[in-house]
């Protein structure tokens, strides 16, 4: 149930059906709350495992009530204590092992709950909210089964706007068709596409430790590096497709989490398109306050552009280390932060050298965009080694073909990504340019039915053939 399985989809569709039996706010809220509790109960059967999560949630609610009653001075302490408890419950390795709870307990989705709770606290402490958040609303927002496992991270105001609307958003046949098509697309992405890409990656990883000729090892290294970004995209965005569509069938609009990330022509742009709700959250609550705070202290105009660089580094370093508890993720954070910081520095340097107009002219040149896109993909693929691999796997992998081999591989990946992604953009644009009065032919209702039928069939056949559990959603571990 905590993956993109048929069971999860059937559960979601059933809840959506139930939710639509009445448009009344109380009914829809009751269905959401009850289904979220049932969802949790299906994931773990012993009540004791939920105790730490319940305490975490109640603490968050207590802090929220304090802030709502005007104790704004408690905001810092609330945020700090919630963060510390989160870090402790997630067993970050920099804390002493002896301090942890030594019984199995439920942490699935805790990261996403943490973001939601912090968001509520900060918003509540920062400005007056017209409407107070009751316990039921709080639990509905934090435990919503469509966003529990892997997000997306929704703001409370947008959640409340749809969930508690007296007149819920419309749901007609066209919208239902779109959502069903999106669910099928999501199932295909996770259960077929991601599975096939991961197959390539795991096989390539195994080949790197086998006594193969250098040429085959180089090819294996190439496949290994290239496969993971696509796997992660298919796995995560497929799951997000399913939950967004299920929520929409419940008349709840969730924010989008992806916007064609491999079309990004810079690493900064990439993070506007990849895990959008996470980067938006951190930009809102880390980047902006940090930049403003530094600008208040550093008044030199010369230094100001570099404050953005520092803020970007800190923000994306935090994004990196949020992903995991171990030192690999610290390096992943440094590489994410380093990537955006260098990207920003490059923009600052080019802006100074060419002037604003010159920089804009250069940045709009197709060749510059294409190479930027290739480099962005290559850098992201490189950083992901610290995302999926342990130190021993990293040593084995990088030791298998030597520094020279890897230099050649990254150059090849950059050039290949530049050419392939540029070609893809051209083909996509050409295909979408075939239009009727209703819009592009390839996205009309009939075309969608054709490819949804084909993808649905493929997903069904592969799932029936392999009879194995649906692949795990990578981001549920965070």
Partner 1 sequence: MSPEKPSEQNHPLNKKVRKADWVLLPLLAILTVGVIVCSIELTARHLFQESKTTTLNCLVFNDPSTAVKARPNSVCSQKLFESTLTDYHFNSCGHRAGMECGPKPTGTYRIVLTGSSFAEGLWVPREQTFAGLLPGDLSRLTGRKVEVYNEGMQWGTPHSVDLRFDEVLAEKPDMILWTVTPWDVDNASITTPYVATIANGQTTQAPAASDAPAGKVAGIVRRITVAFQRKSIPQAFEDAWSRAVVMPFNETRTSFLLQHFLYKSQSQYLKHYLMQDESGAFLKAQPNENFQGNLKEFDTYAADIAAKAKAAGVPLVVVLLPQRAQAAMISMGEWPSGFDPYKLGEEIRQPVESDGAIYIDVLHGFRTIPNPEQYYFPVDGHIDAGAHAILSRLLAQRLASGVVPGLSSAAQTKPTLKDVK
333/316 Cα distance (integer angstroms): 7
Alpha helix segments (H runs only) across 69-193: 75-89, 110-126, 135-143, 156-163, 173-188
393 in Cβ contact with 205 (< 8 Å): yes
Q: For partner 1, which residue of 47, 96, 211, 404 counts as binding (CB under 8 A)?
A: 211
419/266 Cα distance (integer angstroms): 16
Of the candidate spans 299-307, 319-327, 405-413, 466-474, the one that interacts with partner 1 by CB under 8 A turns out to be 466-474
Residue 202 binding partner 1, by CB under 8 A: yes
Residue of 232, 257, 226, 230 lying closest to 243 (CA atoms): 257
Query: What string of H, E and C letters represents the secondary structure of 406-426?
Result: HHHHHHHHHHHHHHHHHHHHH
**Measured from the CB of residue 247, what is the shortest distance to partner 1 in angstroms?**
11
Angle between helices 6-19 and 214-249 (to 10 degrees): 20
Show contacts with partner 1 in window 274-303 (CB under 8 A).
277, 280
**Measured from the CB of residue 146, what is the shortest distance to partner 1 in angstroms?**
15
184/31 Cα distance (integer angstroms): 24
Show contacts with partner 1 in window 356-385 (CB under 8 A).
none
**Measured from the CB of residue 99, what is the shortest distance to partner 1 in angstroms?**
27
Residue 154 binding partner 1, by CB under 8 A: yes
339/320 Cα distance (integer angstroms): 11
**Measured from the CB of residue 212, what is the shortest distance to partner 1 in angstroms?**
5
439 phi-psi bin (left φ>0, alpha ψ -120 to 50, beta other): left
Show contacts with partner 1 in window 434-463 (CB under 8 A).
438-439, 443-446, 448-450, 452-454, 457, 461-462
Residue of 58, 186, 53 lying closest to 108 (CA atoms): 53
Q: Which is nearer to partner 1, 221 or 334 (CB)?
A: 221
Show contacts with partner 1 in window 6-35 (CB under 8 A).
none
Of the candidate spans 89-97, 157-165, 232-240, 293-301, the one that interacts with partner 1 by CB under 8 A turns out to be 157-165
Of the candidate spans 42-50, 156-164, 319-327, 421-429, the one that interacts with partner 1 by CB under 8 A turns out to be 156-164
User: Which residues have a Cβ under 8 Å from the Cβ of 244 and sit 6 or more positions away?
Assistant: 146, 152, 182, 254, 256, 257
**Measured from the CB of residue 203, what is the shortest distance to partner 1 in angstroms?**
5
Q: What angle do CA 9, 469, 12 make, to 5 degrees?
A: 10
**Measured from the CB of residue 450, what is the shortest distance to partner 1 in angstroms?**
5
Q: Which is nearer to partner 1, 355 or 440 (CB)?
A: 440
**Measured from the CB of residue 248, what is the shortest distance to partner 1 in angstroms?**
8
Residue 189 DSSP symbol: I
Q: For partner 1, which residue of 206, 293, 415, 477 counts as binding (CB under 8 A)?
A: 206
**Residues touching partner 1, count (CB under 8 A):** 49
> Other C-beta atoms within 10 Å of 440: how many?
13
351, two tokens: 């802006």
Show contacts with partner 1 in window 241-280 (CB under 8 A).
253, 255-256, 277, 280
Q: For partner 1, which residue of 13, 42, 212, 442 counts as binding (CB under 8 A)?
A: 212
Q: What angle do CA 4, 10, 14 make, to 5 degrees?
A: 135
Residue 135 binding partner 1, by CB under 8 A: no
Show contacts with partner 1 in window 390-429 (CB under 8 A).
none
Q: Which is nearer to partner 1, 407 or 466 (CB)?
A: 466
292/285 Cα distance (integer angstroms): 11
Q: Which is nearer to partner 1, 99 or 130 (CB)?
A: 130
**Measured from the CB of residue 266, what is the shortest distance to partner 1 in angstroms?**
20
Binding site for partner 1 (CB under 8 A): 154-155, 157-158, 161, 172-175, 177-178, 195, 198-200, 202-203, 206-207, 209-212, 216, 253, 255-256, 277, 280, 438-439, 443-446, 448-450, 452-454, 457, 461-462, 464-468
């Amino acid at each position: 149930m905590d993956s993109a399985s048929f069971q999860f989809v059937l559960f979601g569709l059933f809840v959506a059906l139930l939710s639509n039996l009445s448009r009344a706010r109380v009914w829809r809220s009751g269905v959401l709350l009850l289904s979220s509790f049932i969802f949790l109960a299906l994931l773990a059967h012993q009540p004791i495992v939920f105790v730490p999560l319940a305490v975490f949630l109640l603490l968050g609610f207590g802090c929220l009530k304090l802030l709502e009653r005007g104790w704004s001075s408690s905001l810092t302490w609330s945020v700090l204590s919630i963060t510390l408890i989160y870090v402790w419950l997630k067993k970050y390795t920099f804390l002493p092992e002896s301090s942890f709870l030594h019984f199995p307990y439920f942490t699935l989705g805790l990261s996403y709950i943490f973001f939601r709770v912090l968001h509520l606290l900060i918003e509540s402490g920062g400005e007056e909210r017209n409407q107070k958040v009751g316990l039921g609303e709080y639990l509905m927002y934090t435990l919503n089964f469509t966003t529990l496992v892997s997000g997306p991270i929704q703001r409370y105001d947008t959640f409340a706007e749809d969930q508690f609307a007296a007149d819920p958003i419309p749901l007609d046949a066209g919208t239902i068709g779109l959502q069903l098509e999106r669910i099928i697309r999501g199932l295909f992405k996770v259960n077929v596409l991601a599975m096939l890409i991961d197959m390539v990656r795991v096989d390539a990883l195994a080949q790197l430790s086998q006594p193969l000729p250098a040429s085959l090892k180089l090819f294996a290294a190439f496949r290994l590096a290239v496969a993971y970004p696509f796997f992660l995209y298919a796995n995560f965005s497929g799951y997000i497709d399913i939950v967004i569509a299920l929520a929409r069938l419940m008349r709840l609009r969730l924010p989008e989490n992806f916007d064609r990330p491999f079309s990004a022509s810079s690493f900064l742009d990439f993070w506007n398109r990849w895990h959008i709700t996470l980067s938006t959250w951190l930009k809102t609550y880390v980047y902006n306050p940090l930049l403003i705070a530094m600008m208040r202290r550093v008044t030199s105009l010369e230094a100001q552009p570099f404050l953005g660089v520092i803020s970007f580094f800190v923000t994306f370093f935090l994004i990196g280390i949020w992903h995991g508890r171990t030192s690999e993720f610290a390096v992943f954070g440094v590489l994410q932060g380093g990537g955006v910081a260098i990207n920003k520095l490059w923009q600052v340097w080019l802006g100074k050298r060419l002037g604003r107009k010159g920089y804009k002219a250069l940045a709009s040149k197709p060749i510059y965009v294409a190479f930027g896109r290739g480099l962005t993909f290559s850098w992201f693929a490189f950083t992901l080694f610290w995302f999926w691999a342990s130190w021993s796997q990293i040593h084995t992998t990088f030791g298998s073909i030597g520094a020279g081999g890897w230099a050649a591989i990254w150059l090849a990946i950059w050039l290949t990504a530049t050419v392939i992604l540029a070609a893809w953009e051209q083909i996509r644009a050409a295909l979408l340019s075939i239009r009727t009065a209703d819009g592009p032919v390839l996205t009309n209702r009939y075309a969608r039915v054709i490819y949804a039928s084909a993808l649905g069939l493929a997903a069904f056949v592969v799932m029936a053939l392999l009879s194995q559990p649906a692949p795990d959603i990578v981001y549920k571990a965070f």
